[in-house]
Structure 1
Amino acid sequence: MTDASSVSGDNTPVIIGVGQYSERVGEAGYEALSYMDLAGRALAAAIADSAASEPVSPAIDTLAAIRAFEMSRPDRAPPFGAASNVPRAIAKRVGADPKRAILTPTGGQTNQQLVGEFATAIAGGESQCAVIVGSEAISTVLALSAKGEKPDWSEEVDGDYEDQGFGVEGMMEHALFAHGATGAIPLYALAENARRAKQGKSLQEYRRDIGELFAPFTKVAAANPHAAAPVERTAEELAEVTERNRIVAEPYTRMTVARDQVNQAAAIIIASAGTARALGVPKDKWVHIHAVSAATELMLSSRPDLSANPASIASVEAALARAGKSMAEIEHIDFYSCFAIPVFNQMDHFGLSADDPRGLTLTGGLPFFGGAGNNYSAHAICEAVQAARTDRGSYALVGANGGWMSKYATGIYSTDPADWSASDRFEKLPMADNGVPLGKGPTGSAVVETYTINNAKTGSVAVWLGRNEAGERVCGNVDLSHEPTRKAFEGGQPFGLTLTVEQDDKSRNIGRVA
């Protein structure tokens, strides 16, 4: 434990307030709030949570708005419109006028990484009070669209802001996209099946593993008032393939993938210790930031081990090292759980089990609490802060994931004081340089490393990744009209098979069992 006298400096960053807001379609009090209104409610809740005796809003000098899912691609636009200046629209709802307003890049790790960036700025005297806030209203958008309603959520808001761009460049898997793996579900499924192959398990066995992992998550979600699906389920319910729990992409059933139909918002307020004192924030509200680390992974198609995510492990290890803690000394854990494999990767490395008495989620996880786009981990940080306040002197860890295990950021929190005098508690890790080259042009043959059968609305598409004779990574589709090939892939064990590969008239690689 750090001596409190060594961190009494006015520039020590502390979290002083966290807030969440949510609503579920059709329930009592449902207002069909817009993105901006949800975010404003969450920020108002965070301000109230600080219990400050002086107004907090005028002290906010920096506000970062997490880019909503429907604003996260250059070819998409919110169907009901949005504010012309998202961060200042949110600030306006609580009477704040920050000097610096930011619209963040895409990535579920963004909010956790920003904690480190803003804490560093505060420790360096560049900021006094910073806010991270985001929201999603996808459930309301779908519900109103289904009824033919189209409210106008657009608004013109003056003032400058930093648009940090979409930030998707390192996630553009063009070769995979061309073969039908165009979204998170099939891309994660490719990694998941690579792990299944490594473990030598059947589809049924592996689905059971996923069910056993996520059943405890549903119990947490069932007790969380902000959860989108607060229903406790058994491992059997999650694993069994039924009409209601269909396969969305092998090996995933519908209930075990991230739930994007949510109306949720979360906000985090970080201030210097001097500002916290000036605002009259009680000391029992202060939560210290002991470490934040951020890492970027190789593109999925170039990873040497398709089942692994070493950048995420490096991020967690770096944060633990800087905090001076082992995983055994962390009392509260939230691993990003859009799919099973980001959690499994941490479990495999740290020797954790699905029935770890600490639990592996603080919210209930993305398939059950809900999580769309980029803002889930803000909710996890809110829960970590509350856990640290309740269990004083304990340590909470939040692991935040972006893209297809493309980016990762880890934060460690406690009411124990953290010494920021050296401004060295936030670290960006270097990216690996051992990527596998991607084969170009006709390849002749390839050995299958992993695959998925993606059941999209437009039909089922089987996608594989493998190595050609030169050792290059190759991706392609499966010729499901070829009976031996179809049986091999639908049977769930095509790993290690050699495919004869030909290109079709769209330059796609089509593989058949040789």
Structure 2
Amino acid sequence: MTIPSRTPVLVGVGEVSERLGEPGYRRRSPVDLAADAAREALRDAGIDASTVDTVAGVPQFEISLPWATPLLGASDNFPRSVAGRLGADPRRAVLETGGGQAPQRLVNEFAATIAAGDADVVLLFGSEAISTITALAGSDDRPDFTESPGGSLEARGSGLDGIVSMHHVAHGLSDTPSQYSLIDNARRARLKMSRAEYASAIGRLFEPFTAVAAANPHAAAPVIRDAAELMTPTSANRPIADPYTRLVVAREKVNQGAAVVLMSAEAARRHGVREEQWIYLAGHADLDERTMVERADYGNSPAAVRAAQHALEIAGITSAELSTIDLYSCFAAPVFIVAEALGLATDDPRGLTATGGLPFFGGPGNNYSMHAIASVVRQLRAAPGTYGFVGANGGIMSKHSTGTYTTIPYEFKPSDSERIQADLDAVPAPEEAITADGQGVVETYAVKHLRAGEREGIVLGRLDDGRRFVARANAVLDLLTDGEPVGERVTVRSSPDGNVIA
């Protein structure tokens, strides 16, 4: 087919990484890692940085969370700092909102921007140097990563509205593992699986991920492990939040960067980019989930399900036609839920990760899916005529961006995400009881394991009047750790320190 000149094509990908204490370790800053990845992406495309008219950066955790303080300093204009390293002077610089959906959402957005004629050459990038920053923050020779490159910046903010609830934080839901455990525990109960059965399922899910990570030169933890090792608590694999052990949660202490180059077909031809480099965005979607207390089923995510399905619908294919797949794997729940929605078995021979996944490849803050896109692109180029899928997730299964990729020429099509979002939002949501008193039913729960050995229990439930509530449940830890607490009747009381289960 003849490709219209404004068709967006992905023409370059790049990745870099370094591990503490290994040969070649250079103590690179987040800007340096992102710039090096961007150089690789430009080299892959065969174009010069001077051709770039738009840059967009995925923010590191320490510059995307309002309460975080950069321990070694940071650039006050991350996209311009990276562009400056490359010798680029783009007319537009964007710092995206935080969240793991950001890389794929940027691809979706700027593919549409290119199709509309508002950009020709777009460079997307992100990075994390959490491993280096953590190791050097207390050293006498710590580097200073502070930069002020100047120039315009379109900063989009933290994007935490609807994700972080100070009421929930006050009740112990202050960390990501405990909030995701609410989802996995609700899913387990719905499937009527025992704790042991569900833990075994998580181990079997992630075992093949470790083999993929072991073969990936950029993986932070390239070690093959079996299902039992992943889920058996030890001093090196301590419980984090039921049902998770340390080995099956996203690994944030990494030094990794990744970048992607998008161009219009016209610009790609003008700059001599070989067509065998071109990857098409055959389908895509961007959807947001309800807040935790507004979800009808804590163990599911309608937005994640529809985002995954819609990216395939636009491409006109089914999951059976995919050759490479990367499902966001910060915890087990997102993988289970999206795999089920797409009709994928967790032991599908194609695998459910192209990188090794966030617990093993590494979870570079908000930028993991940029690495997933790079891996999928390389695999598609090696097998022309095939399709790949990337699912990206931000918050507590709160924001979902998906992409279907292929070497087969496709005209760019807008998604129907706006209509789908309206349908999702139209479903009635329960009211939350901020001050909760009375009888109710446990809908899901979390048990946090602290480093000193203490445990904390949190319950999400529904009062008899239909309102949802969150409550501390330390008085009934035995209920949360033995048997099946979901569906049990409890008494909740309000106090000056919040709601508690009696």
Range into which the TM-score falls when normalised by the shorter chain: over 0.9
Q: CA deviation at 1:173?
A: 2.5
1:417 aligns to what SS in structure 2? coil
Structure 1 residue 220 corresponds to structure 2 residue 212: yes
* Partner of residue 493, structure 1: 484
- Aligned-pair RMSD on alpha carbons? 1.4
* Partner of residue 187, structure 2: 195
* Partner of residue 403, structure 1: 395
More displaced stretch, 88-97 vs 239-248: 239-248
Assess if the C-alpha contact under 8 Å between 2:100 and 2:394 holds in 1: yes
* Partner of residue 135, structure 1: 127
* Partner of residue 336, structure 1: 328
Percent identity, aligned pairs only, is: 43
Whole-angstrom CA distance in 1 between matches of 2:177 and 2:141: 29
Candidates 468, 474, 483, aligned match of 1:479:
474
* Partner of residue 111, structure 1: 103
Aligned length: 497
Change in CA separation of 1:280 and 1:426 when aligned onto 2, cut-off 3 Å:
farther
Structure 1 residue 19 corresponds to structure 2 residue 11: no
* Partner of residue 309, structure 2: 317
Whole-angstrom CA distance in 1 between matches of 2:281 and 2:230: 36
Matched ranges for 1:105-254 at <5 A: 105-145=97-137, 147=139, 149-254=141-246
Q: CA deviation at 1:457?
A: 4.3
Amino acid at match of 1:25: L
Assess if the C-alpha contact under 8 Å between 2:472 and 2:500 holds in 1: yes
Q: CA deviation at 1:260?
A: 0.3
Whole-angstrom CA distance in 1 between matches of 2:356 and 2:487: 36
* Partner of residue 449, structure 2: 455
Assess if the C-alpha contact under 8 Å between 2:319 and 2:343 holds in 1: no
Q: CA deviation at 1:243?
A: 1.9
2:311 aligns to what SS in structure 1? helix
Change in CA separation of 1:294 and 1:93 when aligned onto 2, cut-off 3 Å:
same
Amino acid at match of 2:261: I
1:26 aligns to what SS in structure 2? coil
Whole-angstrom CA distance in 2 between matches of 1:59 and 1:97: 9
Amino acid at match of 2:10: I
Candidates 346, 366, 376, aligned match of 1:374:
366
Q: TM-score, normalised by structure 2?
A: 0.96
* Partner of residue 464, structure 1: 459
The runs of 5 or more residues in structure 1 that have no matched partner are none
Q: Deviation per CA, 1:81-118: give whole Å up to 9, x if none.
A: 11121100001111111110011101111110111111
* Partner of residue 441, structure 1: 435
1:45 aligns to what SS in structure 2? helix
* Partner of residue 424, structure 1: 414
2:425 aligns to what SS in structure 1? coil
Whole-angstrom CA distance in 1 between matches of 2:435 and 2:72: 43
The runs of 5 or more residues in structure 2 that have no matched partner are none
Candidates 493, 499, 502, aligned match of 1:509:
499
Structure 1 residue 29 corresponds to structure 2 residue 21: no
2:107 aligns to what SS in structure 1? helix
Amino acid at match of 1:445: Q
2:352 aligns to what SS in structure 1? coil
Assess if the C-alpha contact under 8 Å between 1:290 and 1:425 holds in 2: no
Whole-angstrom CA distance in 2 between matches of 1:478 and 1:115: 43
Q: Deviation per CA, 1:127-165: give whole Å up to 9, x if none.
A: 001111000000001111354553110012111110111
Matched ranges for 1:82-93 at <5 A: 82-93=74-85
